[in-house]
Amino acid sequence: MVPDHAWVETLNSDKWNREIVLEETRKFPELTLQPKTEQRLHKVSFYIDEGKGEALTKELSQLLEKRGLDVKIIYSWGKNVDVIPRGAGKGEALEYLLKKLQAEGIFPVNTLACGDSEHDAELFSIPDVHGVMVSNSQEELLKWRSENALDNPKVIHSTERCADGIIQAIGHFKLGPNLSPRDVSEFLKRKRDTANPGQEVVRFYLFYERLRRGEINNYETYIASFKESCHQGAVFVHPSGAEKSLRDTIDEVEMCYGDKRGKKFWVWVDQVLVTDNNTPGKCIVKFAKWEQCEDERKCCTTTVEFTSKGGDLVWEKVNQIWSEDAEVKDDDNSRWIL
């Protein structure tokens, strides 16, 4: 994470003073400072006694104005109060980011703002930005929508909760894929997409999970197909540091068919990043590969090197190291396959 100094400068106006905010808020016993993890240089956050938010925010706003400050006071979830500079907030931050990217020649399209609390209302006022209020949004936000955005076709109230509501909006606005490969029955049978090696990684590990759960009948066909897509000299670097043939490792995978049948076993990848290594026809896919059996969860930081030959993706090398969060036990290296 790299600070955006120009944004910080916009917040460092002469009408913001954190010390004055702290001084004035001490006059209200109804306010309790939230933990340090919730505090920022340009945000002071409090808990407030139930039912006292609206009256207190009005009085506090007047006090801070008399002290020469120009602030926004946000009351949310019936228990939180945030004091921020007038030019701060999610809406202003999004507007700033869109303008900055445009000035750099990057024209943001398909931007989706997602929210569930009154904090997020500003996001839905930015022109040309799609918006979704998830079904579990607080009443204050839904009230704002009925008064300000009910007739705006770019802002919807989803029928699904949390992340499911966001996925629903991606589909509603046609912003991109809104169905997980896990939910596509024919995903494994689809033709490989050489333009998207990240999908090839997802495809393999979805197969790997289903194979070990014993859910694929003609798994030998898939194994043969995956071996065929590996270069003859392809290498697998195990998280223990041992190197072996990638094709031999695929044979080990085949021998594990159904070994997790009846168990709570999942495999997934995240933080998938495809990069060009400046060599024509070659690319690298980096990701975190997770594996969970019952209550035990492990993660490896994984790098896959691909080449493109004749319209097909060829696996050249797979390198795995235990992630920093992985609590590796003595027998984990022997139990981890790929």
Report the alpha-carbon distance of residue 115 to residue 125 in Å, rounded: 12
The 10s digit of each residue's pLDDT in 146-159 is: 999 999 999 999 99
Burial class (CB in 10 A: 0-12, 13-18, 19+), 240: middle
- Written as one string, the DSSP assignment of 314-337 is EEEEEEEEE-TT----TTHHHH--
Please name which of 5, 6, 79, 9 lies closest in space to residue 46, comparing C-alpha atoms. Answer: 79
pLDDT in tens, the chain (338 residues): 788 999 988 888 778 999 999 999 999 999 999 999 999 999 999 999 888 888 888 899 999 999 999 999 988 878 899 999 998 889 999 999 999 999 999 887 889 999 998 889 999 999 889 999 999 999 889 999 999 999 999 999 999 999 999 999 999 999 988 887 777 767 666 666 556 899 899 989 999 999 999 998 888 988 998 999 999 999 999 999 999 999 999 999 999 999 999 999 999 999 999 998 778 889 999 999 999 999 999 999 999 999 988 778 999 999 999 998 777 777 777 889 99
187 contacts 206 by C-beta, under 8 angstroms: yes
User: In this predicted structure, what is the pLDDT of residue 13?
Assistant: 76
